[in-house]
Amino acid sequence: MKKLFIVLAGAVVLTAAFSFSIINYGGTNAALTIAQTEAGFVSGVKNSAGDIASFKGIPFAAPPVGDLRWKAPQPAKHWQGVKKCDAFGPSPMQAKPTPFMVYTSEFLIPEKPISEDCLYLNVWTGARSKTEKRPVFVWIYGGGFTSGGSACPIYDGEALAKKGVIFVSINYRVGVFGFFAHPELTKESNSKASGNYGLLDQLAALQWIKKNIAAFGGDPNRVTIAGQSAGSMSVNALVASPLTKGLICGAISESGSFTVNNPTLPAVSLEVAEAAGVKAADKIGAKSLADLRALSSEDALKKLNGRYAPIVDGYVLPEPIPAIFAHNKQNHVPVITGWNGEEFGSGPVKKEDFIKQAQQQYGADADKFLSYFPANTDEQAIISAGKVSRDLVFALSGYNWANIQSTQNDAPIYVYNFNRKVPAAPDFVKYGAFHTGEVCYVMNNLKFLNNRPFGSIDHALANLVSDYWVNFVKTGNPNGRGLPDWPKYNASENLVKVFDAESKNEKLVDKDALDFLLSKVGK
């Protein structure tokens, strides 16, 4: 069998008629290790048990370099023979990853390779035949739209693939390479828009999945997108975009969306983003797109530095996302959304300063605000400041999405609060259920976090959470045999699943505080 494969792999042409089953290594219980994509054959690597194969670094689009910098992703070039896909492709161009706070190397991309040539995705599959049609879980990383990549250790897809889904993680351009707008870029594009290249990359990956995932044993009609932080906001944007119609059947949004104005990533129009692009180009003396594209990757990153994120470009996002949801124009798909107990901490805060700021910001309603976020002591002010930050940046948008979806259409939405204080080295204990802390539980990947004193409670919780996520990917409902019931959310009962040492259904504890904040920021 191996001899036959070697002969065929060396041939000048591998035809479409080449049988998938002929090159299935390891017998009937082994995962597929060869797949035929539109651009050519790819080979993957089996795990030690032989039940999961991983295909890493599959190009889903042409390298967005040279004249393709700041253009919509183009199709990947075809290749002959079998492309070995046993290592992650380069992470998107960004600053060198440096551990900080609780974010050790397991949460970060590898130090190298990092490149503009980054449009690669990864597939983990346990399918033994391309006819299986397993549901597909697509992971979109966070990083504030300025960093991140699919090669972070905690994003490994083997554990979820073992539970019966095809796991796909994708790269997309970040920072200036992913979200730079300019009038000349808008003029040259077919869509007459610019600035959302990172979202277009995500769309291109979904289109690739639609066309190719069946070759890995996946179901192209059962694709659920999931992400955390900026990845969660990306999920929300993709649900809002008309361009994803027919590409997704469900969404998991962990910590963040654009359904309300996000103080850290305010929505901007194409015109505003274009003006910022002109200003940035003028500042460095770039007089044309040719000048801008002639910049090295390092110079573009350094000289065009700024705050980049998705914009309302009139194409990927025809309207501001709150308006899309208010007008019920989003894709109607089942959703899981939620946030963590200690998403964002705060530095030292004096009670007097906290109260003064509340009075300045909320005026006559300051006392009401302080009833939800008290500051009777400095210690209490620090805790309240952290909760305000969590709610404004992460919780409020998830809560608003839940209220909209539960009253607006038949697609169910399920809400969670992740409150497990992630065990950590002694100097990290203070971070509690920190931002991103749930991801290693969702992925059932606690083993990738070094020097963390996880116990039986944590392993049980990881198994529980990952089971819910996998069930949702399979059916659009997280519930399944042997699992405690997780009721769909409705705006009258406000029941959410609380994940902790003891997981249970509870009324949303912070509902009144969230309602107050929502009345102030607007919908």
Q: Are 262 and 285 in contact, with CB atoms under 8 Å apart?
A: no
* Residue among 49, 7, 42, 9 nearest 26 (CA): 49
The distance in angstroms from the start CA to the end CA of the chain is: 61
Residues sharing a CB contact under 8 Å with residue 474, sequence separation 6 or more, in sequence order? 135, 164, 165, 222
Catalytic residue among 147, 150, 169, 229: 229
Which one from 106, 116, 254, 343 is the annotated catalytic residue? 343
Is 438 among the catalytic positions? no
From CA 298, how far away is CA 278, in angstroms rounded? 20
Q: With CA atoms as reference, report the closest residue to 340 among 255, 465, 449, 228.
A: 255
**What are the angstrom distances between the C-alpha of 47 and each of 32, 50, 132, 165, 444?**
11, 5, 20, 16, 16
Looking at residue 53, the DSSP 8-state letter turns out to be E
Nearest to 211 by CA among 82, 14, 60, 331: 60
The strands making up 82-84's β-sheet, listed across from edge to edge, are 34-37, 40-43, 82-84
**383 φ/ψ angles, rounded to the nearest 5 degrees:** -65, -45
Q: d(Cα 437, Cα 340) in Å, to the nearest integer?
A: 8
Q: How far apart are CA 142 and CA 207, in angstroms?
A: 21
Cα–Cα dist 458/455, whole Å: 5
Residue showing tokens 């700024």: 306
| Catalytic residue selected from 232, 406, 435, 503 | 435
- 389 counts as catalytic: no
What whole-number distance in Å separates Cα of residue 224 and Cα of residue 240? 15
Number of CB atoms found within 10 A of residue 16's CB: 5
Report the 10 Å Cβ neighbour count for 430.
13
459 catalytic? Reply is: no
Distance of alpha carbon 272 from alpha carbon 291, whole angstroms = 22
Angle at 273 between CA 269 and CA 279, to 5 degrees: 150
Tell me the three-class secondary structure of 149-164, residue by residue: CCCCHHHCCHHHHCCC
Instruction: State the catalytic residues.
Output: 229, 343, 435
